[in-house]
Structure 1
Amino acid sequence: MAKTSQFKAYDLRRKKLHTISSPPVKLTQSRLERGEWAAATKASASATTRPSKVTKKRGRFSKKAATKKPPQRAADLMRCAASDEIECLHCNKPGDDQTCGVSCYREFKKQHFVGKQIDIRGPGPMGYGAYTKPGVSIENGQYLDEYIGDLRPLKSYESSSSLYCFVIPQTCVVDAEKAGNWTRFVNSSCKPNVKPWADFVGKRHVIVFQALKDIGPEEEIVFDYGKAYFEKAGFECACDAHDRRHLPGQNEPKAKKAGSRR
C-alpha cells in the first residue's frame, strides 16, 4: 500500500511553509483502486463477443470466453513482459535477461531520484510549481524522478476531465489529479528544462523526467505540455516565453511600427 501524507509548500509572498490541499495527499509509489479495475475488466469481458477458449463437454463443443483477472497491485500492473525488444535504463540489459529485475528499479531510484532536493512553491502565475532547493543543481541528462499517481484503466482516460494524466500505451493511465509526488507540480513552459518519457527499469514501466540542460539552484522545473493539452484544457499557457497567454508553438506577434495603421 502506497504511503500518503499531506504536501507542504512555501508561500512565494510570505516565504512560509504551509500545507496545501491540492492534491490532498502525496504518494511514495503509484496506487491502484481494485474496484475500478474489477469493473473495467468486467465491462471489457462482456463487450467481447468472440470466444477465446473452446471446451468439450458431454460429447459437444461449448464455447467459453477466457476471463482476464483484474490486477491486484500496482506493481503487477506496471510489470512488463520480458522481451529482448526493451532495455533496462539501469543495467542496460534486454528485458528478457534474468539478472534484470526489481533490484534494478530500487537501485535506479536510489541513484537518480531527487525528490528530497525539490521544494514546492506558490501560488504564482501558474499555480504551485516545483523548484530546486537552495544550493541544489541538476546536470544535463540527469534523471529526476518518476511520475506517479492513481493507476487507472485506459478507457477511463477517454471520459476523464483530469489534466494530470500520462498514458502508458496498452497498460494504463497514470493520473495525479488527486494524489501523486512532486512531479505533478511541474508546470508547462515553452522553454522547458526537463522532458518526461516512458521507458523501462527492471522489467517495469516508468514515466521518468530527465534534464534537458543544467538546472541551477532555486530554478523552476518545467516541461512543454504541448498544444493538444491546452486545447483539451480550454485555456492557454502562461509561461514567460511570451508577454501574454499563448499556445505552445505560437510565434510572438511582431511589434507594430510607429505610425502604422491598425
Structure 2
Amino acid sequence: SQLLWLLTPCRLMRCIRCPLAYHMGDSCVAAGSVILTHHIMICSSHGSAKRNGLLTSPINVGWCFMCARGGKLLCCDSCPASFHPECLEMEMPEGAWSCSDCRAGKKPHYKQIVWVKLGNYRWWPAEICNPRLVPSNIQSLRHDIGDFPVFFFGSHDYYWINQGRVFPYVENDKNFVTGQININKTFKKALEEAARRFQELKAQRESREALEQERNSRKPPPYKFIKSNKPVGKVQMHIADLSEIPRCNCKPTDEHPCSIDSQCLNRMLQYECHPQVCPAGELCENQCFTKQLYAETEVIKTEGRGWGLRTNQALRKGDFVNEYVGEVIDSEECQQRIKRAHENHVTNFYMLTLTKDRVIDAGPKGNFSRFVNHSCSPNCETQKWTVNGDVRIGLFALCDIEAGTELTFNYNLHCVGNRRTSCHCGSENCSGFLGVQPTKEEKARNAKLKPKKRKLRPEGKHTHEYFCFCCGEGGELVMCDRKDCPKAYHLLCLNLTKPPYGRWECPWHDCSVCGAAASSLCDFCPRSFCQDHGAGALSASSLEGRPCCSSHNPLSPLCSNSSSNELHRSAPSPVRVKEEPETELGQESSE
C-alpha cells in the first residue's frame, strides 16, 4: 500500500499512477511493470486495453480450474481461469466477472513458471523473464505496459505476452499432461525442462525463506516501544485529586523513608506515594512507577521458549523490576483481538487483566516486560498498585535474584475455549500445561518423563492462597497460621494497620455472631457460625454442594454481589497463552 511505502521507502517501489507498491525484487514486482527509477514504476495494471485498435480479452482454458472437467464454464475477464459455477457454489453471474485471484490483485511475477497460449499453439510451459535479462533484439520488440517476455521451454524461443494469456504452472503438471496423446518430442522436452526448472526455483525460494527466518530469529518480532499505558477507544484512565491520595506516616528524617524495609502504610497497601502528599517529599522511596525506576534488563533468546528477559543486576526480594505496560483495552476489544488472532492462527498473547473491565495488551505496543516468560516456579510476581488514582501492574522479585538470571512469573493463565498449551518452563513442579489442568492420566504420563525425586517438606508448612478471602484481590497479604487453613487477607480488609504479632488465626474460624469457635463455615466468604447460631445459617450451593451463607445465591454463589465473590479476584492473570509472556499472556512459543 502507499502508506506502507511512506513508512519504508527504501525497500518498496511505488506506482506513480495508483497507490500500489511492491517490494523490490523479481519475486514481488508484478511482471509487466515499467521500472522508472529504483523506487518508482508504472504497475502492470495500466496497460492498454486495445491491440491494433481492437479490444483485447484473455484466452480462457476449456476446463474448470477446480475439478479439471469441461462443460458450461464461468470465464474470468482478466486471466485464463475458468470455473463451473457449482464448483464455486454460486449462480452464473450477469455481466463482467473476475476470479478471486484477480480481485485480490494477484499478478504473475518474474522467474515464475507458467502455461502460455500463443496463436494456434497448445498451452506451452514457459518462464517469465525480467526484460533487462533477455537478448537485446527481444527487448526492442514492440510491447506495451503490462506485457512481459517469456522463455518457452523446449523451443527456447522468446515472446512478449500479457496476463490474459498465462496461468501458473504447479507441481506435478508434467505428470498430468504426459498422459495425453499427440505429444511431440519438442513438447515432451519442454515438459522435462519446465519440471526441472520449477524444482530449481522452488529450492531457491525455500533457501531464501530459511535465510530470512534465520535472520529474523536474531531479533524479537517488531512492536512499538512505549513507556506508559495507552488507552484505546472508550477506555478511561483515572487521575486522582491530591486530596484523594492517601498520606503515609513516614518522616523525612527516617533513614530510608517509604522503602521496602520501612513500615510505610502506603507500601503495605500497595499505594504509591505522591511527592506532593508524602511527608518525606522527594526523599520518598515509594515512587518506582512514577519515576520508572526499572531494573537493568536485557531481551534474550531462550532454549525452546522463544524470547525472554534477564536481569543484568542483582535483585533483592521485593525489588521493583518493571511495569507491565501496553494498550489498555476494554473486554469487548479484548475478545475481538483474541478472535482475530485465532482466525490468523496466532498463538502468542500479551494480555493481562488490569481491572474487571480493562485489559493491558502489550502485543502491538509495550516495553521489555512483555518478554518475561512463564514459570511454574517463578522468581517474580505481578502486583497491582494504585498510582495517582489508577491501577497499574508491576513485576516484583519474589526472592533474591543474581545478575544474569532469566526473569519469570506465573501467568495464572485462563484459557479461552477448550485449548490447552504445553508448559516448557522446566521446573521440577511443572504442571505440564498452561491454562487447563491436565487429567490424572496426563499427570501420570508427565511424571514418567521426569526423574523421580523425593521431596522433603518442612513440618507443618502448607500452601496459602494468593488472594484476599474478603475482597478477592491480590497484593501483600497476612496468612492464617491455623493448620491446613489456606486463607490470606489484606490488612485493610481486617481493619488492621500492622501485621499481627505471633501466631494468628483468621476470623473464618470464629463465629460471626458471638465470636465462639466456629463449627460451620461458608466456602465463599469469611462468615462462619458456632453450634448455637449455625442452624439454618448455611445452605448447600449448586457447586458440588459447597456450603454458602445468606450473602450468596445458592444457585450461583460465585456470581453474587458479595465482595468475596471468587470471580472478582483480579490478581494479574493473562487472558491466554503467550509463549513470550505473550499471553492473554502465554509462554513464548519456540521459533
Question: Is 2:411 the partner of 1:225?
Answer: yes
Checking the alignment, whether the CA contact within 8 Å between 1:88 and 1:202 is kept in structure 2 is: no
SS in 2 for 1:129: strand
1:45-98 CA-partner distances (Å, limit 9, x unpaired): xxxxxxxxxxxxxxxxxxxxxxxxx64xxxxx04358376xx744997799998
Match of 1:186 in 2: 372
SS in 1 for 2:335: helix
Match of 2:288 in 1: 108
Between Structure 1 and Structure 2, the one with more strand by share is 1
Checking the alignment, whether the CA contact within 8 Å between 1:236 and 1:245 is kept in structure 2 is: no
- Give the TM-score normalised by the residue count of structure 2: 0.29
Checking the alignment, whether the CA contact within 8 Å between 1:128 and 1:185 is kept in structure 2 is: yes
Q: 1:222 to 1:230 in 2, by over 3 A?
A: farther
Note the C-alpha offset of 1:149: 0.2
Checking the alignment, whether the CA contact within 8 Å between 1:88 and 1:203 is kept in structure 2 is: no
Note the C-alpha offset of 1:220: 0.4
Match of 1:253 in 2: 447
Match of 2:308 in 1: 129
Checking the alignment, whether the CA contact within 8 Å between 1:90 and 1:108 is kept in structure 2 is: no
Q: 1:105 to 1:30 in 2, by over 3 A?
A: farther
Match of 1:99 in 2: 277
**Which entry has the higher C-alpha Rg, 1 or 2?**
2
Q: 1:231 to 1:144 in 2, by over 3 A?
A: farther
SS in 1 for 2:378: coil
Note the C-alpha offset of 1:108: 2.1
Note the C-alpha offset of 1:171: 5.3
RMSD: 4.2
Q: d(CA) in 1 for partners of 2:352 and 2:270?
A: 24
Q: d(CA) in 2 for partners of 1:225 and 1:218?
A: 22
Q: 1:177 to 1:96 in 2, by over 3 A?
A: closer
Question: Is 2:317 the partner of 1:140?
Answer: yes
Checking the alignment, whether the CA contact within 8 Å between 2:382 and 2:395 is kept in structure 1 is: yes
Checking the alignment, whether the CA contact within 8 Å between 1:149 and 1:174 is kept in structure 2 is: yes
Q: d(CA) in 2 for partners of 1:32 and 1:93?
A: 22
Checking the alignment, whether the CA contact within 8 Å between 1:230 and 1:236 is kept in structure 2 is: no
1:205-246 CA-partner distances (Å, limit 9, x unpaired): 210111111111111000111253497764221111259981
Note the C-alpha offset of 1:200: 1.0
Match of 1:20 in 2: 220
Match of 1:119 in 2: 298
Q: 1:130 to 1:97 in 2, by over 3 A?
A: closer
Checking the alignment, whether the CA contact within 8 Å between 2:352 and 2:359 is kept in structure 1 is: yes
Q: 1:203 to 1:97 in 2, by over 3 A?
A: farther
Checking the alignment, whether the CA contact within 8 Å between 1:112 and 1:142 is kept in structure 2 is: no
Question: Is 2:344 the partner of 1:149?
Answer: no
Match of 2:230 in 1: 31
Q: d(CA) in 1 for partners of 2:271 and 2:220?
A: 41
Higher RCO, 1 vs 2 (CA within 8 Å, ≥6 residues apart):
1
Q: 1:128 to 1:149 in 2, by over 3 A?
A: same
Note the C-alpha offset of 1:106: 9.3
